[in-house]
Structure 1
Amino acid sequence: MALPRTAPEFDVNAYMAWEEDQPERHEYLAGEVFAMSGGTDAHYTILGNAYAGLRVALSGTPCRAFVSGMKLRIDRADAVFYPDVFVTCDARDRQPEASLAKQHPSLIIEVLSDSTAAFDRGRKFELYQQIDSLEEYLLIEQDRKHADLFRKNSEGLWVLHPAGEGDVIRLESVGVELGLDGLYEDVEL
């Protein structure tokens, strides 16, 4: 005889419906929900600078940049995240059914913090790699002028392209160059 289920299953569709009514944002991973913490002045300034640079550079193209309030759904990983910034050029992400969550990014950017850096570099990157359309993953540090760009090569391997002070980051996935110093404009290190 089967035992009754003691807790209702919280699947991705239940999460999506529930999340729409929440005052704070939550990420979802395999049935678990995690509240998102706030960021620092530096964190939000860097992500704002990245978004602004991409928004201007992508104007008039089929690509759209999104900032941390837009969900990214990864069905293969049974996950929904709020990346700091991401870009999608895929027409499927412009359809009405994609108004609450996108699924086909070319580029994802995360601004690292002490509390999220290990997850962003490790498990989250592993989950992001399950997105077929993803070509680049940019991690920007907030306490020093440094970024790590991971680009998927023709063999499907992720190659690291580090950037430091004075460098230009070439985002081949979206045809944009961002000066690292510009990402840190108005940030006090």
Structure 2
Amino acid sequence: MTALRKPLLVSVADYLAAEEDGDAKHEYLGGVVHAMAGGTARHNAISSNILGALVARLRGKPCQPFNSDMKLRVELADQTRFYYPDAMVVCEGKPDHSLYQDQPSVIVEVLSDSTRRIDLTEKRDAYLTIASVRHLIFVEPDEARVIVYRRRETGDFETGEHVGLDAVIELPEIEAQLPLAELYERLTF
């Protein structure tokens, strides 16, 4: 029987340098680098609609929306991770030249068959450890349904579901709303 080889661990500095110079995006989990697959046209349309809605509602306000090209650093007790959420809103961001953010107020992931399990377990658990996160939003691609984790004043999270094109996600901490009709604009079910 042969032993499994341990992957060579990559330092955070080497990962960030490679991401800045590279053509493809990779997520980083405690020294292990994973290539990201491209998304479908539907996934991209939903992500673009989300970003467009956030940009329109946050214009002139202090919070800044970011698309999936901005990395999110998550500092866990035992490791550092970098993910590329589909969208996020940062109210206390890093300087313009930063390669990542680490204090998002809102994180949005559009689910897909290939990422669903990781999004709803590994990423969810990591994102919910970030002290600045007020809303974690998972968007279903094939039906007008969104799952929202909302931080309560006690610090824990409550989960809610918004269903149907008439539903609206309230985001009072960033003074915005996300109507599902806009998130799914130009898409059919």
Q: TM-score, normalised by structure 2?
A: 0.90
String of CA shifts for 1:82-121, please: whole Å, max 9, x gaps. 100000000xx2425x621111100000000011111111
8 Å CA contact 1:86, 1:105 repeated in 2: yes
| C-alpha spacing 1:7/1:100, structure 2 compared with 1 (3 Å) | same
Q: Write the letter of the residue equivalent to 1:10.
A: V
After TM superposition, the structure 1 = structure 2 runs for residues 1-189 of structure 1, keeping only pairs within 5 Å, are 9-76=9-76, 77-90=79-92, 93-96=93-96, 99-165=98-164, 166-189=166-189
**Quick one: distance in 2 between partners of 1:136 and 1:50?**
14
CA RMSD for the aligned pairs? 1.6
8 Å CA contact 2:8, 2:32 repeated in 1: no
Q: Write the letter of the residue equivalent to 2:124.
A: F
Gaps of 5+ in 2: 1-5
User: Post-superposition shift, 1:150?
Assistant: 0.5
8 Å CA contact 1:42, 1:188 repeated in 2: no
User: Post-superposition shift, 1:149?
Assistant: 0.6
Secondary structure in 2 aligned to 1:24? coil
**Quick one: distance in 2 between partners of 1:43 and 1:103?**
24
Q: Write the letter of the residue equivalent to 1:32.
A: V
**Quick one: distance in 2 between partners of 1:173 and 1:42?**
29
User: Post-superposition shift, 1:8?
Assistant: 5.8
Identity rate of aligned residues, in percent?
36
**Quick one: distance in 2 between partners of 1:88 and 1:160?**
21
**Quick one: distance in 2 between partners of 1:75 and 1:130?**
9
8 Å CA contact 2:63, 2:174 repeated in 1: yes
| C-alpha spacing 1:17/1:179, structure 2 compared with 1 (3 Å) | same
Secondary structure in 2 aligned to 1:131? coil
User: Post-superposition shift, 1:188?
Assistant: 2.7
Q: TM-score, normalised by structure 1?
A: 0.90
Q: Using the TM superposition, name which of 63-72 and 14-23 deviates more.
A: 14-23
Q: Using the TM superposition, name which of 81-90 and 67-76 deviates more.
A: 67-76
